[in-house]
Structure 1
Amino acid sequence: MSSMSKFKKLAGLSALMFAALTAANSVNAANWRYAHEEYEGDVQDVFAYKFKEYIEDNSDNTVQVYRFGELGESDDIMEQTQAGILNFVNQSPGFTGALIPEAQIFFIPYLMPTDMESVVTFFRESKAINDDFPKLYAEKGLELLKMYPEGEMVITLDEAITTPEELKNKKIRVMTNPLLSETYSAFGATPTPLPWGEVYGALQTNMVQGQENPIFWIQSGGLYEVSPHLIFTGHGWFTTAMMANQNFYEGLSDADKELVRKASDFAFEEILDHIDGLADEALAKIQESSDEVTVTRLNEEQIAEFRKRAPQVEAKFVEMAGDSGQQLLNQFKQDLEDIKK
């Protein structure tokens, strides 16, 4: 056989092997389903698409992302994840609290710092976040992949206020979360649990007089149009969590488990860059869009009046979450002290 004939034969065999390998990969490739709670371009959406980007750039697997409303409300997508219909879900502890009482810890006011550097360090280094929470989620059939911050919580109201007394008789929409209701009761308001889809209309019709959310969500959801007075109380950051159905995750190959972990880490780093400065950009857009918007930033003396009501919320958390909640709270405080040092 001539050298040219050998070359052609080898080339042909290589092409066949490559085709067979490609076919095998396409058979093994999966389309994973991932749902979150926000709109196009919002923080959870950016995280989801960064996760998708990493998965698809580094494997033959694909990720189908579903945004808010496409598969229902937050409770719906969690039920679908637990049932194995969805592979991944992004849900805030505000909604997960009914399933995992300890997750409500993020709604103890003035527990978390509000400066960006401290918040990021906490999520990177906290033992409570990275060691304790995954165990709690695992008990509910969920593989916790990442917890991450979205932005400082801001209250919007029908008028500007600076004291808890001025919140008296005001109905404040809260997520369907018992501890968040306790927070606003402590602040002097009347908490009113509502699903997200009803919030704009409830504000518009004065069914409720206020609500809380990160500023980017207030901007993207148009909440400032019907609740134009923004109050920065410094009481906490909005936190969210990305997780997988545990049976699905445990059924993955070691290579795919590593892929999912690396994709989660990649999305986490990308989202920290994304939220840096996001609040200022969103506030600028709000102020550009409406002349009715006012911004009130409480000073330290005013914040102290709200802060002194926090211990009753902390006590309620321990009552709801029991011994494991107390242990988690102790770890949170230790982690925060370590960050200060």
Structure 2
Amino acid sequence: MTYKTISAASIAALLIGASGAMAETWRYAFEEALDEVQGKFAQKFKEEVEANSDHEIQLFPFGTLGESADIMEQAQSGILQFVDQSPGFTGALIPEAQVFFVPYLLPAEQSQLVEFFRTSKAIHELFPPLYADQGLELLTMFPEGEVMMTTQEAVNSPEDLNEVKFRVMTNPLLVDSYEAFGATPTPLPTGEIYGALQTGIIQGQENPAFYIESMKMYEVTDHITRIGHSNYTTAVMANKEFFDGLSDEDKKVIQDATAAAFDYIIEYQEGLTEESLAKIQEAKPEITITTLTEEEREPFKATAESVEQKFLEIGGSQAQAILEQMKADLAAAAGGGETSSTAENEDEAAAAETPAEGEAVEGEAGN
């Protein structure tokens, strides 16, 4: 456990929460502020739990209990009952979760993206056992918004990132991705990004627009570039021992609260990216906000295959199965196929769709 980053006030808050009716007070930490996406999700989750049970949820926004590594350790040890953390910070813990950093894997079209997160067998069936191995109950994953670059110099091609020290999360595959883009990836904790940009330790970073706006990263960079390569993903988890020890009634309260918060946060994000970019433009009129054309994106997209192969090398024992299932899930979300990618189901589907000898084929399946 890393305690050195936890303030005395934070420890006191935990002790206050632990006093009294221990079973009725659940602690939930996340990586953003209360008025940011993870904070909004957490508040809705708290509202639903408290409206439908006698339990209380204590919320701990970013920084109150340390950095991302600290809150994960606290969740695994049972100090926290709930934690919200991006797979970007759990890549070493659950290497298969790095799949979300294969560039251009997730769709840019919002309705397809939401459908994928709602229905994905990879998320709802394959990932939970991997999280369980780390003492965590995976409750849900949800998207937080299109990831875009902020840099000191304009970026129109990978050549423009040559030798640019670019901050990334402490995630091996994200490092590989930005190396493929031509940059010099520099892993740093979230709390160090602004200062590192200000002092020139790094010259770029990536995040969704709402986070760039709320953390005022536009103050220390001059260009925002949308290359369409990723959508920030996060995962809400419970300490598994805690969750497994709950009554069926309490488990249902948590599951229902999670579902309600998911629906809420998807609706909350409608228009959020453009609203955040407008606020940035108003605060700093001279900043450039550029959306690359499809032609300009092609050199970035060309790196995806090599990063995907790297994922298969470092993504853990289930990397192949996870990647195949995600691709099947994404095709289904786009209206192009079923969500199962197992050989058995493919064989069954082929048998069902193959006409008997002499039978006429009336039309093609799919859209």
State the TM-score, normalizing by the size of structure 2: 0.85
Any idea what SS the aligned residue of 2:318 has?
Answer: helix
Aligned to 2:125: 131
Q: Please state if 1:152 is matched with 2:134.
A: no
Q: Would you tell me which structure has more helix in proportion to its own residues? A: 1
**Alignment deviations for residues 121-147 of structure 1 (CA, whole Å, 9 cap, x no partner):** 110111111111111111111000010
**Structure 1 residue 338: Cα displacement:** 1.5
**Structure 1 residue 227: Cα displacement:** 1.3
CA distance in 2, matches of 1:71, 1:126: 32
Aligned to 1:297: 291
Q: 2:259 aligns with which of 243, 262, 265?
A: 265
Q: Please state if 1:77 is matched with 2:71.
A: yes
Any idea what SS the aligned residue of 1:160 has?
Answer: coil
Q: 2:26 aligns with which of 24, 29, 32?
A: 32
Any idea what SS the aligned residue of 1:145 has?
Answer: strand
1:167-246 matched pairs, under 5 angstroms: 167-246=161-240
Aligned to 2:52: 58
Q: Please state if 1:104 is matched with 2:98.
A: yes
Q: 1:92 aligns with which of 76, 86, 91?
A: 86
CA distance in 2, matches of 1:179, 1:255: 39
**Structure 1 residue 322: Cα displacement:** 4.0
Aligned to 1:41: 35
**Alignment deviations for residues 156-204 of structure 1 (CA, whole Å, 9 cap, x no partner):** 0001111001110100000011100000000000000000111000001
Any idea what SS the aligned residue of 2:315 has?
Answer: helix
Q: Report the count of equivalent residues.
A: 316
The letter for the 1-side match of 2:138 is: L
Any idea what SS the aligned residue of 1:112 has?
Answer: coil
CA distance in 1, matches of 2:76, 2:171: 19
User: Are the aligned partners of 1:86 and 1:245 in contact in 2 as well (CA < 8 Å)?
Assistant: yes
Any idea what SS the aligned residue of 2:229 has?
Answer: coil
Any idea what SS the aligned residue of 1:331 has?
Answer: helix
CA RMSD between the two structures = 1.1
Q: 2:135 aligns with which of 138, 141, 147?
A: 141
User: Are the aligned partners of 2:68 and 2:89 in contact in 1 as well (CA < 8 Å)?
Assistant: yes
CA distance in 2, matches of 1:27, 1:304: 57
CA distance in 2, matches of 1:265, 1:212: 28
**Structure 1 residue 27: Cα displacement:** 6.0
Percent identical pairs in the alignment equals: 55
CA distance in 2, matches of 1:326, 1:28: 42
Runs (4+) of structure 1 moved beyond 3 Å? 26-29
CA distance in 2, matches of 1:268, 1:322: 28
**Structure 1 residue 323: Cα displacement:** 4.0
1:276-287 matched pairs, under 5 angstroms: 276-287=270-281
CA distance in 2, matches of 1:118, 1:226: 34
The letter for the 2-side match of 1:335 is: D
Q: 1:314 aligns with which of 308, 311, 330?
A: 308
The letter for the 2-side match of 1:91 is: Q
**Structure 1 residue 228: Cα displacement:** 2.5
User: Are the aligned partners of 1:210 and 1:227 in contact in 2 as well (CA < 8 Å)?
Assistant: yes
Q: Flag the structure with larger Rg.
A: 1
